[in-house]
Amino acid sequence: MTKMDHNAQTGRVFTLPDANAQATYLADWILEQALAKKDGFLSIALSGGSTPQKLYELLGSPAYARKMPWSRIHLFFGDERMVPPTHEASNHHMVNKALLSHIDIPFRNVHPMPTFADADDAAKIYQRELEIFYGNNQLDAAKPLFDIVFLGLGNDGHTASLFPKTPVLQEKTKWVSWCDPTTVPYRRLTLTYPTLASSRHVVFVVSGEGKKDILKAVRSGENDYPAAAISTTGELSWVIDKAASSE
């Protein structure tokens, strides 16, 4: 692994013909990672929004649901809207509908972000849950918290719920925090930069013509979009479809 792989500008780009091929590519890769993981659990931080739904539905389909070793996989969330888990805008609601309700995964292996408390308390509760899973309250670059972090990309350059011009962008100590975006509704909980960086693989999943310009801008690094500042101690990849590609 070269230095080349670590950040949003140098991460490798994998371009698939369309969103279906992108979902299949990712589902096959996750299965490969899960079957290859011999020591402990495979830990995945899921992204929200609409782009990854196709992937989650595929993982929940008979083609994959029965192949995946779900008892050895833990699913976390990269961010969450501060709404009830039954709310249409809830990422947990979306993941439950697309994936969790179709697979046999132990309840204790799924870690939704708490949205019942106020944001400060919810962030502390989730950080504690991450620390217990990790076995320490200090992140060690040599021991990533996640095996895989999936990230989306918003048209304003946000990722997870790291939105432009919000104080959470400066948070380098807490593992979980929150923000009040100005461009979309709902207060949001989010993993912070250091937590997202603590992963063997950070995978941006971006598709559609509408994301072409922002994707090109973020990868250029010639701006301060929040997604452009994502880096990792592991490898960073962009898995995109042809419609989102400028190549």
Q: Which residues bind ligand 6PG (CB under 6 A)?
A: 47-51, 78-79, 91, 152-154, 158-160
CB 244 within 8 A of CB 20: no
Cβ of residue 26: shortest distance to ligand 6PG, in angstroms? 14
Cβ of residue 160: shortest distance to ligand 6PG, in angstroms? 5
Residues whose CB is less than 8 angstroms from the CB of residue 201 and which lie 6 or more positions away in sequence, other chains included: 33, 147, 148, 149, 232, 234, 235, 236, 237
Radius of gyration of the chain from its Cα atoms, rounded to whole angstroms: 17
Strand order through the sheet with 146-151: 12-16, 235-241, 199-206, 146-151, 42-46, 73-77
46 or 68: whose CB is closer to ligand 6PG?
46
The CA distance from 226 to 157, in Å, is 6
42 or 191: whose CB is closer to ligand 6PG?
191
Q: What residue number has its CB nearest to ligand 6PG?
A: 152
Cβ of residue 5: shortest distance to ligand 6PG, in angstroms? 21
CB 120 within 8 A of CB 178: yes
Cβ of residue 39: shortest distance to ligand 6PG, in angstroms? 29
51 or 199: whose CB is closer to ligand 6PG?
51
72 or 186: whose CB is closer to ligand 6PG?
186
Q: Is 227 exposed, middle or buried (0-12, 13-18, 19+ CB in 10 A)?
A: buried
Cβ of residue 155: shortest distance to ligand 6PG, in angstroms? 7
98 or 153: whose CB is closer to ligand 6PG?
153
